[in-house]
Structure 1
């Protein structure tokens, strides 16, 4: 009997051994997905019990739904019904402009971010297929088009008082501009999601009249965030700092040209520029790809080279480790998710993805959930948010 078992072990093919190794992360992913489905409320929402800005479900619901829909190539009848319930909840919160996240005038739930994920989730559900009446499907499609129109109108361009001499031109922010030429909070992360929703999920023309090449305006903004030589004159400096005559182009990205304190890499006094850091660089790569920039374009390859030089999975390099606020620890799961999406999009080696998956798995709790136990600065101590980010990471790490 023992001899037979030994022979069988010797005869096991590499593919069988690989399958055995992959079983654990696949089981972990299934457990995390089950946890997220179990947390859906009867009205179809996912909402936070600890953060007021996430309590209505307008922001968490589309993000969690999109994550769950991306985790599978098909839906069971039960999952399809749950997904449709979430979509109905989303639609019930849309305003006249097609924006999500504005139901409570006192607490805005990231209108651009929420609407972008709603678009991506609904478009994904349509591709997977779902049971509903012809009338409801037609109505949902009308909402989808309206949400896309809101996102297009929310881009900072000439129609909202912005011009190419502004660092914010071509990007997106927290919401549409409240005053002509005044962006409010705006950053690379919001821009990336809007590009993804408008270009990839909907394939809408880039401008309202369809006359501009796809992604031109967005790429102008991304060039500012990548510290490109052609746009260094538009890149901001802290108050009291003399604007440099040249900024080194390292291929990496920073986060915001407006909310300077949100740049977690902080300002590099020696180089006279904002430091590139891992999560922003991942977002930059993904935004470029979503805007239609080829994978072999110099902007993409330069950013990838930066990432290959900064391979620490446990900490988003570029973020100082000695800052009074632990920003690096606060974006732990966001870092896993964004890095994994880049690894998948650009076909990084399987061993890199396996190493990232193994790092994520160390944090899984018994109920399948994840939670950032080090810092609440980015709300990753909310299990719904952290678990959804972990699922994104695992989806993109597995074959």
Structure 2
């Protein structure tokens, strides 16, 4: 049975002043995004050719607009609702061969990730009630996208229990980094929001999350999370280290650690103490993300994604003690907003130099926690 509780039902812990500090920039950003919407209802990258189908970007923007619409801007509601209706129409007409989100012509990009984002938007927006039948079908397809027995993935494989940007194909061998913590975290959160995270999915997910445990040097010890459990994967931007026994282990990443904490919160079986320990580890390894300037650190290409995931983390009522940290974070990004309302990352390593992506992520980060 689909859960009826929307994200808006979460009790808010921020003061009116705190909320207003993020709302006005988010309002400008929302209207900038609406101006970029194409006649077909989608948003299409003008920076990256392989994103011009608009599936992943449109799903991301729909989630961001649903956050804005659900939280405030009642006076502008009709404008946002009209954009949401057009966008939902664009992404609900067709599915790919695995039953995941596709464009009206059947094209897709990162369909598992896009399906999570669309389902989040449908649940957050009251307009999503028009698509309950489709949501059920997408949720069933999302459950089958986990690497596991249904697609012949053995438990010994790195990707077992995780989710990747593409649905697994039964019997097809995939590299060890086919599943990653980012998509896995989103998938687990989405399934949990809809009350569709079964114990068998959770059990396999815990195996994957435990394998994504990150490491740090001097001396080598477990700390936080890595993007993928495969230590040789180039997707682990922090690289790997050699352990005393001669084996290799992936280094922890601050952004992956936030994904890991969100995945733990979504997955039954983790104690509050274990989740708190993971958050404490994150704070020891991480400076707050900032819009890149000068000579930025190596992970600056994910600055806006980092913001979005922290916004999701900080919105929980149990996280009141994290408010000052979020306020500091919000001020940094609000100061980097362009006058017309968009954001853009000057670093192009993770596609945040596309303003559609950076702006949608900034909205999610600023409004989720407000």
RMSD: 2.9
1:376 aligned to 2:369?
no
Query: What is the CA–CA distance in structure 2 between the aligned matches of 1:51 and 1:181, rounded to whole Å?
Result: 28
Query: What is the CA–CA distance in structure 1 between the aligned matches of 2:50 and 2:210, rounded to whole Å?
Result: 31
1:221 aligned to 2:220?
no
Where does the alignment leave 5 or more consecutive residues of structure 1 unmatched? 1-17, 207-211, 229-245
User: TM-score, normalised to structure 1's length?
Assistant: 0.76
From 60, 63, 66, the counterpart of 1:66: 63
TM-superposed deviation, 1:123: 2.2
Q: Which residue of 1 aligns with 2:147?
A: 156
Q: Is the 8 A contact 1:254 1:263 kept in 2?
A: yes
Query: What is the CA–CA distance in structure 2 between the aligned matches of 1:224 and 1:353, rounded to whole Å?
Result: 29
TM-superposed deviation, 1:48: 0.7
Q: Map Cα deviations across residues 33-83 of structure 1 (whole Å, 9 max, x no partner).
A: 221222222221111112112111111111110111122326623322321
Q: Which residue of 2 aligns with 1:248?
A: 221
TM-superposed deviation, 1:99: 1.3
1:274 aligned to 2:250?
yes
Query: What is the CA–CA distance in structure 2 between the aligned matches of 1:222 and 1:284, rounded to whole Å?
Result: 7
Where does the alignment leave 5 or more consecutive residues of structure 2 unmatched? 1-14
* 3-state SS in 1 of match to 2:315: helix
Q: Which residue of 1 aligns with 2:96?
A: 95
Q: Is the 8 A contact 2:91 2:103 kept in 1?
A: no
1:44 aligned to 2:41?
yes
- Deviates further, 184-193 or 359-368: 184-193
Q: Equivalent residues in 2 for 1:1-399 (5 A)? A: 23-73=20-70, 76-101=77-102, 108-125=108-125, 128-129=126-127, 137=130, 140-180=131-171, 182-184=173-175, 185-200=178-193, 202-204=194-196, 206=198, 212-213=199-200, 215-227=202-214, 248-250=221-223, 252-258=224-230, 260-269=233-242, 272-293=248-269, 296-298=272-274, 300-314=275-289, 327-345=298-316, 346-347=318-319, 348-373=321-346, 375-398=347-370
- Aligned residues between the structures: 338
TM-superposed deviation, 1:276: 0.8
Query: What is the CA–CA distance in structure 2 between the aligned matches of 1:205 and 1:381, rounded to whole Å?
Result: 34
Q: Which residue of 2 aligns with 1:10?
A: none
Larger radius of gyration: 1
More RCO (CA 8 Å, sep 6+): 2
Distance 1:20 1:213, change over 3 A: closer
Q: Map Cα deviations across residues 311-367 of structure 1 (whole Å, 9 max, x no partner).
A: 411469xxxx99xxx741211111222223222235143211110001111210010
